[in-house]
Chain A
C-alpha cells in the first residue's frame, strides 16, 4: 500500500494557513538561505485569537493548544471530505512535546499557594493531560475510529506519521488526520531555557490527511507527498546522535531503494545534516530557522516545508526530513513530493 499525504493545513508564527508559511520560506530563499540558528523569530501565532474567532464553530476550549489543534483540523476537513468518510473509519493521531505541562503547573501552583490545597480550577483538569486536544477534535468532527496521542520530543511529527501509516496498513481506518501542535507559554519558554535549548521558542500546529494513494485518487485529491520511509532510533549520549541518525537515514534510503544522491531536498531539525555527508548535493532548508523552535510540532512543520516548496522543480522529488531531540530521539522520513 502506498501511503500519501493528500491535504495539509497549518498555522505558524508567520500566520494562519500555508500561504504565509510559504511566504516566509520564500523570503528566506531570496535572502540566500536561512539565518543561522538562534536568530529565528520564534513567537506565537499572533493572528490566532480563539476568543475572537468568527468561525461558524467558535473555539471555546479550556486551553490554547487544543484550540489551535481544532482550528487546524477544521481547515483540513471541509464538509465534502467528511461526508464521504464513515465516522467509525475516521482516525486521528495527534502529538505534541509539552502540552499539559503549563496547565499542570498552574494546578499544582494553585494547590500550593491558595488557602486550601484543593482550591484549584476544575475546568483545567482535563487539559492537564496530553490527549485533551485529540479527544476534543474527535468530538468536534465525529472521529470515532482509532484516536491516538503520541509524543517523542522534536520527532513527534514523525512518530505520528508512523502511527498513522500503521493504522492504514493494518486496515484500522480508511484515512487518518495526523498532526502535531505546540503552544507557546511562559513556562514552556522557561523550561526550554533552563534545559539549554538555544533556538527561540515558537508555536504552531500542522495537520495532514494521510490515506492510501488509491483512496486519494478516488476522491480526486492531489498526492502532495508519498511517505516512502519512516525510521527512528534512540541515542544515549549526544555524541551518539549522529551515528544513530545516520543509521536511520541508511535504513530509510534502503527501504525506498534510493541513493543518497537522489535526495533533492534535506529538511533537518537543526544542524545534524553536517554529519550526513553523502547528502551534500541536496538543497537544505531549516524550518527552525524560519519559525523558531516548535518543539513537538517541529517535525510536522519540516514535512510541511518539504511539501510547501514542491512547486519549485529543483526542490521537488525525494525529500529527507531528519529530526534530533536532545531527549534522545532521532528519526527521519523520506518523502516523494509532487
Chain B
C-alpha cells in the first residue's frame, strides 16, 4: 500500500462549493442537472470545427464566468482562470465565508488542470499562423501560463497570504488538489483551503484525441457495451475546506468530511491503466480514512467511457469491494470529461448526493457489458442514503488518486 500511514492530524470538512458545468451552474443548477440526469453534450460552439466529421463536446456555451467575479477586471485572466475564480467565488458564498475574515490566516489555493488556459494557447497559435510569432499580443502572452489559475482564485478572493499552486496532473488533478489541501489542513500548515479544478475544450485537445479516435462521436457512454470513447467537458468545481475546529468556530454549515485520500502512480504503461495500482489507490484512501470497504455506499468512478478504462475500473472496484460492490456511477456521461475539474466535480456530486439522499445516474446507458459487472445506476437518479462515498480519479501517464468523503453527521 503506497500510503501506509493511517490518517492522523486535524479533521477536515467541506463547508461550501461552487460549480460550473454543462448540466448546470451553481449549487441549485448542478443539483437539478444531477437529479434529472441531464446530458450536456452538444455541437462545439467555442471555435470553428469545419473539416471534422464529428465535433461534439460538453461545453458551457452560455456561460460568462466574468459575471460572477467581483474583483478581477474583465480580460485579465483567460476563460479557464476566470471559471476557476468564478467557481471559487460561488464556493465562498455557499460557505458563508467572507474571504476578508480569513485574509490573515494561513490558507491554501490549489487548482487542478489538464490543459490550463488552452483557449489562449489556441489563440496564440492562431496569431502565429496568421501574423507570425513576433506578433503575439501582450494580453494573451501575459495570461497563458497554467500557474495563473490559482492566482486568479487568490486575486478574486483577495487572499494575499495563501499558498497558491496549480496542479497540472491532468485528469486526476481535481482530486489531487483536494488531497493536497487535505494534507495541508491535517498538518496544521493551513486552516482553510479553496481547492478544485478547471478546464475548457480546445482545438488542440479535440484535434489530438479525434485523431487518436479516443473522442466519442456523439456522447460519452460509460460502462455501456457500445461505449466508444471519452468526450471532454468544460467547467470548474471548487470546494471550501476547513479544519473541523475552524468551521465550528465560525458556525459554518458542514456539508461533508474529507475523510481520506491516497495517490500513487502506475509507473508502467503510459496510457493503459494498471488495475492493481488503481485498486491499491482506492484501498489506500479507505485506509487513510480508517474506513472499511463495507461502509462505502457509492463509488464515483473515473468512468471515461473508453473500452479500456471502464473494464479495468470495474475489475479494480471488485478487487477492493468484493463480488457485491456498492453502486458505481460515472458522471462523465452527464458533464463530459471535465479533465482537471473531474475529481472536484465528482466530490461535489457526492456531497450533493449525501445531503439530498440520492445517487446521480450514469446516463446514456443502453446495453450492459459483461466486462463491466457493476451497478452503474443507469439513466435515472436513485434515492439512497449515502453516508460514505469514494471518488476515483486517473490521469494519463499513470497518475491515480482517490478521495473518501463522509456525511456531515459523522463529523457532528
Determine how close the nearest CB of chain A comes to the CB of B71; give it in whole angstroms: 8
Q: Is the CB of B167 within 8 A of A329?
A: no
Q: Is the CB of B3 within 8 A of A172?
A: yes
Query: Residues of A contacting B166 with CB < 8 Å?
Result: 150-152
B43 located at the interface, meaning its Cβ lies under 8 Å from any Cβ of chain A in the complex? no
B22 located at the interface, meaning its Cβ lies under 8 Å from any Cβ of chain A in the complex? no
Question: 1/0 contact trace for A138-158 toward B, CB 8 Å?
Answer: 110111111111111100100
Of A119, A122, A149, which one neighbours B212 at CB under 8 angstroms?
A: A122
Given known pairs A130-B146, A329-B147, the reply for A107 and B207 (CB within 8 Å) is yes
Q: Is the CB of B2 within 8 A of A129?
A: no
Query: Residues of A contacting B52 with CB < 8 Å?
Result: 117-118
B309 located at the interface, meaning its Cβ lies under 8 Å from any Cβ of chain A in the complex? no
Of A142, A195, A247, A328, which one neighbours B151 at CB under 8 angstroms?
A: A328
Q: Is the CB of B160 within 8 A of A143?
A: no
Question: 1/0 contact trace for B116-135 toward A, CB 8 Å?
Answer: 10100110111011000110
Query: Residues of B contacting A77 with CB < 8 Å?
Result: none
A100 to B124, CA, bound (A): 13
A224 located at the interface, meaning its Cβ lies under 8 Å from any Cβ of chain B in the complex? no
Determine how close the nearest CB of chain B comes to the CB of A325; give it in whole angstroms: 7
Given known pairs A97-B145, A122-B212, A150-B166, the reply for A113 and B154 (CB within 8 Å) is no
A141 to B398, CA, bound (A): 14
B297 located at the interface, meaning its Cβ lies under 8 Å from any Cβ of chain A in the complex? no
Q: Is the CB of A190 within 8 A of B136?
A: yes
Q: Is the CB of B399 within 8 A of A170?
A: no
Of B122, B162, B211, B269, which one neighbours A234 at CB under 8 angstroms?
A: B162
A240 located at the interface, meaning its Cβ lies under 8 Å from any Cβ of chain B in the complex? yes
Determine how close the nearest CB of chain B comes to the CB of A183; give it in whole angstroms: 15
B377 located at the interface, meaning its Cβ lies under 8 Å from any Cβ of chain A in the complex? no
Of A87, A169, A247, which one neighbours B267 at CB under 8 angstroms?
A: A87
A277 to B271, CA, bound (A): 52
A336 to B264, CA, bound (A): 31
A269 to B336, CA, bound (A): 41
Given known pairs A88-B264, A131-B399, the reply for A247 and B121 (CB within 8 Å) is no
Q: Is the CB of A235 within 8 A of B160?
A: yes
- A221-268 contacts to B, CB under 8 A, are 231-236, 240, 244, 247
Sampled A-B contacts (6; CB under 8 Å): A97-B147, A104-B118, A105-B124, A118-B210, A131-B397, A150-B166
Interface residues of B (CB under 8 A from A): 1-5, 9, 49-52, 71, 109, 114-116, 118, 121-122, 124-126, 128-129, 133-134, 136-138, 140-142, 144-148, 150-151, 154-155, 158-170, 176, 180, 183-184, 186-187, 189, 202-205, 207-212, 263-271, 277, 280, 395-399
